[in-house]
Amino acid sequence: MSPTDPRPERRSHPRGIVLKGATIITDDANISCSVRNQHHHGAELRVDPGLTIPDRFVLHVPADDTSYRAVVRWRRNERLGVQIY
């Protein structure tokens, strides 16, 4: 494999690239975010890097007309990987 070859996909669920506005709802605050990719069991969120996001919250996505319970699985700067159910 050369450095210009795309990385092999290791994910068990394919991600659909999206750009949706959403709100992280906690006991203390409502935090605006964006959904950058999504699949049936998870999503990648972008948030303000200066904010503290709890490990569990409700994710409201108006474009889906639904709210999901979410658990943070990874964090990288302004990006969060969450499991949704």
- The arithmetic mean of pLDDT across residues 77-82, rounded, is 96
Identify the helix (H) or strand (E) that includes residue 52: none
Nearest to 39 by CA among 59, 21, 16, 61: 16
- The CATH superfamily label for domain 16-84 reads predicted glycosyltransferase like domains (2.40.10.220)
What are the tens digits of pLDDT across the range 7-28?
554 545 555 678 999 999 999 9
Residue boundaries of the structural domains of the chain: 16-84
Q: How far apart are CA 80 and CA 27, in angstroms?
A: 19
Q: How confident is the model at residue 1 (pLDDT cuts 50, 70, 90)?
A: low
Tokens of 3: 């450095």
- pLDDT for residue 12: 55
CA 71 remoteness from chain centre: 10
